[in-house]
């Protein structure tokens, strides 16, 4: 088979996978794992009904015995048992569809990885791929385990329907089956973290966690966005940026153009209108470059906004710091130090880790060396001391007069901010909390001699994220209780077999 035929066959397979995944993802999001959340509603309903079946075995309610049982010919307990079994089968079908959708997403992911290797742009070699692949494999394993457990539980309930709850075998198998349903709930709750799909271009972001990040951001917005991109998106991002940089206007440095582009997109995320966005982009890019950026099929404007929102959720302190500097420049406020811009920010609420951002820019015409010091008894490391050599500002980017947000040229907030961030120093430090509750972080900027230039104390609240904590609590409780119930039913049946 020729190479062209092989590529055509691969494209057909990829298209077929995409169409099936797209349809199933829509059903999944509206009914199964999101929307109605049948994968949570059905097991809760089934477990409740089955407990009622066991509780009413041999003692039908008066209203059932007098009104319904004569015409139906079934006891209240057996009817609940049958209904619970049907609901359990419905849950099994929902899990099966959900598991099949996950398998399609994984197959599409593998095809994309293989396609990148053929283009000599291996995704597997990119930063963070191994961790993301591990999370995806774990999702598949847990989905398979949950589905298999529910299947065994439904088979057990079928045995109970055959022998009846009034027999010792039926009662013990019922206990084991009920425990398996509960255990499957615990398995399924694990799969609700790190969701992924290949239909949406940003579908892998939740399955990706950046293992490390740069401590000093060279291209501030570029490094921030790239750090939070999954390997697949990062390869497309790098390719797009290379193409865009080929359309930078003569006389404009590529790093300035890239930061101006990203800064403009961030302002668009905050409400800057589309017409002004294009005008700002065309200050650094040729018209075809602006068209390429805004109309690219694999990296459209909607995806840019999703990426900015994702980065903002991961590092709100960074964007809060940027917004504060913008507001100071817009209203013409003077910096805290006469010849040095110094801003620091940290999340108000810390869950897994605290992201501390510090921005410094030397406004004087002489180089200077400063020491940035962080001290906190509530985080690791307890003490950080970093020495920075701040070059003199190439241009006076800070204005003591109020500035418009966006006008022609660089005499606006967008132009000034881009130059300020490019020539300044942005440090990013990760602090790991040692305990929950109120915590303090002391930040000091000092001369090399130890003299204090400026100092601040930041108060934060360290706590678990409520949704994550609730999910983990339900997961552990369901798995532990389900295992104990299964063990109880097994022991009772063994005792019955050996007549102990």
Q: Could you tell me the CA-to-CA distances from 357 to 308, 311, 344, 427 in Å, in that order?
A: 17, 14, 6, 6
Q: In CATH, what is the architecture of 315-463? A: Sandwich (2.60)
Q: Which of 166, 155, 183, 156 is nearest to 54 (CA)?
A: 166
In a 10 Å sphere around its CB, with 0-12 CB exposed, 13-18 middle and 19+ buried, how is residue 59 labelled?
exposed
Q: Diameter of the chain by CA atoms?
A: 98
- How many C-beta atoms surround the C-beta of residue 251 within 10 A? 5
Secondary structure letter of residue 337 according to DSSP? B
Q: Which two three-digit tokens encode residue 7?
A: 């590529």
Taking the C-alpha atoms of residue 244 and residue 255, their distance in angstroms, rounded to an integer, is: 12
Taking the C-alpha atoms of residue 10 and residue 259, their distance in angstroms, rounded to an integer, is: 37
Q: Which of 380, 482, 388 is nearest to 426 (CA)?
A: 388
Strand pairing report for 354-362 and 379-380 = unpaired
Please state the separation of Cα 104 from the chain's center in Å.
20
Q: What pLDDT shows up at residue 5?
A: 47
In a 10 Å sphere around its CB, with 0-12 CB exposed, 13-18 middle and 19+ buried, how is residue 297 labelled?
exposed
- Please give the helix or strand (H or E) that residue 91 lies within, else none: helix 76-118
List phi, psi (to 5°) of 60.
-75, 145
- 205, 230 contact by CB (below 8 A): yes
Q: Which of 355, 325, 346, 371 is nearest to 431 (CA)?
A: 355
Q: Which two three-digit tokens encode residue 201?
A: 């271009």
Extents of the domains making up the chain: 3-203+469-497, 214-314, 315-463
Taking the C-alpha atoms of residue 244 and residue 289, their distance in angstroms, rounded to an integer, is: 6
Taking the C-alpha atoms of residue 78 and residue 160, their distance in angstroms, rounded to an integer, is: 10
Q: Could you tell me the CA-to-CA distances from 37 to 31, 98, 103, 185, 192 in Å, in that order?
A: 6, 11, 19, 13, 11
Taking the C-alpha atoms of residue 376 and residue 450, their distance in angstroms, rounded to an integer, is: 18
**What 3-state DSSP class applies to 384?**
strand
**What 3-state DSSP class applies to 455?**
strand
Taking the C-alpha atoms of residue 168 and residue 181, their distance in angstroms, rounded to an integer, is: 20
**What 3-state DSSP class applies to 13?**
helix
Q: Which of 303, 320, 407 is nearest to 355 (CA)?
A: 320
pLDDT tens across the length of the chain (500 residues) = 445 544 555 667 778 888 999 999 999 999 999 998 999 999 999 999 999 999 998 888 888 888 888 888 889 999 999 999 999 999 999 999 999 999 999 999 999 888 888 877 778 888 889 999 999 999 999 999 999 999 999 999 999 999 989 899 999 999 999 999 999 999 999 998 889 999 999 999 999 988 889 999 988 999 999 999 999 999 989 989 999 999 999 989 999 899 999 999 999 999 888 999 999 999 999 999 999 998 888 888 899 999 999 999 999 999 999 999 999 888 888 887 888 899 999 999 998 899 999 999 998 888 999 999 999 999 999 999 999 999 887 667 777 778 787 777 777 888 888 888 888 999 999 999 999 999 999 999 999 998 999 999 999 999 888 888 888 999 999 999 999 999 999 999 999 888 75
Length of the chain: 500
The helices-and-strands tally (H runs, E runs) of the chain is 16, 10
Query: Hey, which residues does 457 pair with through a beta bridge?
Result: 442
Q: What share of the chain is helix, strand, coil (3-state, %, to 5)?
A: 60, 15, 25
Q: Could you tell me the CA-to-CA distances from 455 to 328, 372, 432 in Å, in that order?
A: 19, 10, 21
Q: Which of 275, 229, 20, 319 is nearest to 12 (CA)?
A: 20
Taking the C-alpha atoms of residue 401 and residue 23, their distance in angstroms, rounded to an integer, is: 55
Q: Which two three-digit tokens encode residue 287?
A: 């018209």
Q: Where are the alpha helices (DSSP H) in 219-335?
A: 220-227, 231-245, 254-269, 274-281, 287-295, 301-314, 316-331
- How many C-beta atoms surround the C-beta of residue 6 within 10 A? 11
Please state the separation of Cα 192 from the chain's center in Å.
11
Q: What pLDDT shows up at residue 480?
A: 97
List phi, psi (to 5°) of 73.
75, 20
Q: What pLDDT shows up at residue 10?
A: 62
Name residue, tokens 């406004």.
Answer: 363
Q: Which of 450, 446, 217, 222 is nearest to 342 (CA)?
A: 446
């Amino acid at each position: 088979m020729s190479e062209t035929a092989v590529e055509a066959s691969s494209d057909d397979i990829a298209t077929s996978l995409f169409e099936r995944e797209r349809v199933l993802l829509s059903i999944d999001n509206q009914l199964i794992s999101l929307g109605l959340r049948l994968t949570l509603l059905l097991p809760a309903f089934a477990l409740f009904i089955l407990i009622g079946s066991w509780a009413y075995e041999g003692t039908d309610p008066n209203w059932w015995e007098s009104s319904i049982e004569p015409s139906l010919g079934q006891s209240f307990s057996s009817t609940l048992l049958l209904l619970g079994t049907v609901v359990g089968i419905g849950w099994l079908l929902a899990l099966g569809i959900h598991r099949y959708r996950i398998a399609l997403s994984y197959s599409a992911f593998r095809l994309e990885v293989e396609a990148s290797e053929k283009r000599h742009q291996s995704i597997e070699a990119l930063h963070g791929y191994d961790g993301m692949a591990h999370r995806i494999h774990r999702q598949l394993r847990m989905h398979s385990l949950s589905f298999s457990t529910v299947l065994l539980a439904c088979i057990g309930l079928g045995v109970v329907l055959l022998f009846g709850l009034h027999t010792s075998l039926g009662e013990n198998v019922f206990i084991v089956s009920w425990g398996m349903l509960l255990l499957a709930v615990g398995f399924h709750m694990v799969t609700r973290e790190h969701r992924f799909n290949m239909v949406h271009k940003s579908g892998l972001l939740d399955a990706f966690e950046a293992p490390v990040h740069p401590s000093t951001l060279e291209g501030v917005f570029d490094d921030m966005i790239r750090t939070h991109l999954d390997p697949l998106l990062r390869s497309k991002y790098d390719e797009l940026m290379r193409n865009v940089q080929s359309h930078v206007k003569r006389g404009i440095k590529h790093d300035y153009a890239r930061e101006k582009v990203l800064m403009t997109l961030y302002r668009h995320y905050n409400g800057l209108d589309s017409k002004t966005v294009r005008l700002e982009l065309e200050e650094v890019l040729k018209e075809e470059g602006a068209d390429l950026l805004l109309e690219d099929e694999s990296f459209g404007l909607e995806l840019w906004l999703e990426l900015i929102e994702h980065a903002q959720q991961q590092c709100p302190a960074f964007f809060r710091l940027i917004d504060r500097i913008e507001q100071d420049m817009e209203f013409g406020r003077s910096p805290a130090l006469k010849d040095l811009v110094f801003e620091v920010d940290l999340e108000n609420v810390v869950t897994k880790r605290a992201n501390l951002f510090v921005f410094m820019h030397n406004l004087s015409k002489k180089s200077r060396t400063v020491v940035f010091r962080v001290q906190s008894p509530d985080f690791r490391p307890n003490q950080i001391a970093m020495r920075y050599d701040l070059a003199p500002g190439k241009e006076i980017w800070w204005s003591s007069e109020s500035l418009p947000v966006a006008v022609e040229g660089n005499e606006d907030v967008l132009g000034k901010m881009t130059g300020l961030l490019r020539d300044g120093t942005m440090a990013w430090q990760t602090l790991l909390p040692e305990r929950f509750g109120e915590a303090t972080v002391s930040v000091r900027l000092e001369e090399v001699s130890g003299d204090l230039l400026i100092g601040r104390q930041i108060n934060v609240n360290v706590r678990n994220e409520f949704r994550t904590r609730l999910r983990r609590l339900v997961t552990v409780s369901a798995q532990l209780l389900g295992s104990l119930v299964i063990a109880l039913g097994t022991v009772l049946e063994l005792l019955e077999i050996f007549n102990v």
